[in-house]
C-alpha cells in the first residue's frame, strides 16, 4: 500500500503517453506549438506497462492515459491491451480531445478501455475553432457518440470555463447531462502557462449557481470514476454535472494521484515540476526492485498542497482538459 507523509493513500496514476497534440487550445499551447520531444526519449509502451505492473503491485488501482493527445500516440491501443491484462488494475480510462475518437473508440473498448473523458469547451463551431485553433467540433461530437456506442461508460465531458470566452454556455453544456447519459465536468481555469488571468477565472460556486437554472441540484453518487469533482444531478436527468474547483476549492487533502510524464518522470504533484526519474530503472533493462523503490520515493515527496491559488501564472504547462478524473 502506498501512503504519503500526510496519510493519503495513493491509488491513481495519470500517464502522459505523448507530449504531442493535434490541437492548440489557447489555455494549453501557443499558436505556434512547442518543440516536441524526440521520439527516442518517449517511453515505449512496454516500459509504461512495466511501471504500471510494479505500481499495481504496490497498491495503485486506477490508471488514466493522457497526453498531449493520447490518440496521436502510435501503439496506444496495444498499450491499453497490455494494461487491461493486469489483473489487479480496477480502472483504465483515457482523456482525449475527441478528434480521433470516432475511429478508435471500438478498438479501444475491445482492448480493455473502461471509460473516456472528452474535452468539449463549447457547443459552437466558430468558438470551438477559436479555442482550439485546429480541428472540427463535428469530429468531437462524432467521438462522443462513438464512445457511447462502444460502451465506454461513463462518458465524461471536460469543460474548462473561461469568463468572456465560454461561460455563457454553462447552462447549455449542463443541459447535455439532463438529456443524454453524459457526465459534464466544469473545470476552473488554472494558473498554468501564459493564458491565465484572474479576470478569466469563474469560481466553482458561481458555476454551480448558474447550473441551478436547470432545476434543483442534488448530490450524485453514481459511478463516475475517481476524480476530484463534486458531482450533482437533477430529478429525471440521465447524467450528472461536476465541479472541479482546483483553484478556489483545492482538493489536495484527498489527492490520491501521481503523474507519469511521457519521458519517464514521476511527478508527486500535478502542479509542480519536481519529479522522480524512473528511466534508470527502465533502461537499458527493467529493474523492478529499483522501480518500486523510485515509486515509493515519489509518494514520499508528495507535498501537502499545491500553490495555484497563490500565483497568477505558473508552470509546468499542463493540458487543462486532462485535469478531470
Cell 488501482 sits at which residue?
61
185-206 per-position pLDDT tens digit: 999 988 776 776 788 899 999 9
Q: In the CATH hierarchy, which fold is given to the domain comprising 12-322? A: TIM Barrel (3.20.20)
| Distance of alpha carbon 63 from alpha carbon 73, whole angstroms | 17
Return the number of other C-beta atoms located less than 10 Å from residue 184's C-beta: 25
Flag whether pLDDT at 107 surpasses 80.
yes
The pLDDT-based confidence of 249 (bands split at 50, 70, 90) is low
Task: Supply the pTM of this predicted model.
Answer: 0.91
C-alpha cell at 237: 436527468
CA angle 120, 158, 4 (to 5 degrees): 155
200-237 per-position pLDDT tens digit: 899 999 999 999 999 999 999 877 665 678 899 999 99
The pLDDT-based confidence of 317 (bands split at 50, 70, 90) is very low
CB 115, CB 157: distance < 8 Å = no
Closest Cα partner for 119 from 321, 287, 271, 284? 321
| Distance of alpha carbon 134 from alpha carbon 139, whole angstroms | 11
Sequence-distant contacts of 270-276: CB under 8 A, at least 24 apart: 270/14, 270/306, 270/318, 270/323, 271/192, 271/306, 271/307, 271/308, 271/314, 271/318, 272/303, 272/306, 272/316, 273/315, 273/316, 274/301, 276/301
User: 41: which residues sit within 8 A by CB, 6+ positions away?
Assistant: 263
Range scoring the smallest mean pLDDT among 6-10, 177-181, 268-272, 285-289: 268-272
Number of H helices, E strands in the chain: 8, 12
Amino acid at each position: 500500500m502506498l501512503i504519503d507523509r500526510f496519510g493519503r493513500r495513493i491509488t491513481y496514476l495519470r500517464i502522459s503517453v505523448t507530449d504531442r497534440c493535434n490541437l492548440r487550445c489557447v489555455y494549453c499551447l501557443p499558436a505556434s506549438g512547442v518543440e516536441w520531444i524526440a521520439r527516442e526519449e518517449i517511453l515505449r509502451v512496454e516500459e509504461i506497462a512495466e511501471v504500471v505492473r510494479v505500481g499495481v503491485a504496490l497498491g495503485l488501482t486506477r490508471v488514466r492515459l493522457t497526453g498531449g493527445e493520447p490518440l496521436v500516440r502510435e501503439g496506444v491501443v496495444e498499450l491499453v491491451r497490455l494494461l487491461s491484462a493486469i489483473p489487479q488494475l480496477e480502472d483504465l480510462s483515457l482523456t482525449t480531445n475527441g478528434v480521433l475518437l470516432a475511429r478508435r473508440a471500438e478498438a479501444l473498448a475491445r482492448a480493455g478501455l473502461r471509460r473516456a473523458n472528452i474535452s468539449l469547451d463549447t457547443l459552437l463551431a466558430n468558438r470551438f475553432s477559436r479555442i482550439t485553433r485546429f480541428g472540427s467540433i463535428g469530429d468531437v461530437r462524432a467521438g462522443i457518440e462513438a464512445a457511447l456506442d462502444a460502451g465506454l461508460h461513463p462518458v465524461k465531458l471536460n469543460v474548462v470555463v473561461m469568463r468572456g470566452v465560454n461561460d455563457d454556455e454553462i447552462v447549455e453544456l449542463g443541459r447535455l447531462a439532463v438529456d443524454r447519459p453524459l457526465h459534464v465536468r466544469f473545470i476552473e481555469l488554472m494558473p498554468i502557462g501564459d493564458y491565465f488571468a484572474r479576470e478569466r477565472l469563474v469560481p466553482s460556486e458561481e458555476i454551480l449557481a448558474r447550473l441551478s437554472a436547470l432545476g434543483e441540484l442534488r448530490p450524485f453518487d453514481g459511478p463516475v470514476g475517481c476524480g476530484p469533482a463534486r458531482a450533482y444531478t437533477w430529478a429525471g436527468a440521465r447524467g450528472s454535472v461536476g465541479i472541479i474547483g482546483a483553484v478556489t476549492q483545492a482538493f489536495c487533502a484527498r489527492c490520491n494521484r501521481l503523474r507519469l510524464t511521457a519521458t519517464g518522470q514521476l511527478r508527486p504533484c500535478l502542479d509542480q515540476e519536481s519529479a522522480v526519474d524512473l528511466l534508470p530503472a527502465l533502461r537499458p533493462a527493467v529493474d523492478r526492485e529499483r522501480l518500486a523503490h523510485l515509486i515509493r520515493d515519489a509518494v514520499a515527496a508528495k507535498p501537502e498542497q499545491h500553490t495555484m491559488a497563490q500565483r497568477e501564472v505558473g508552470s509546468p504547462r499542463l493540458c487543462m482538459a486532462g485535469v478531470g478524473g
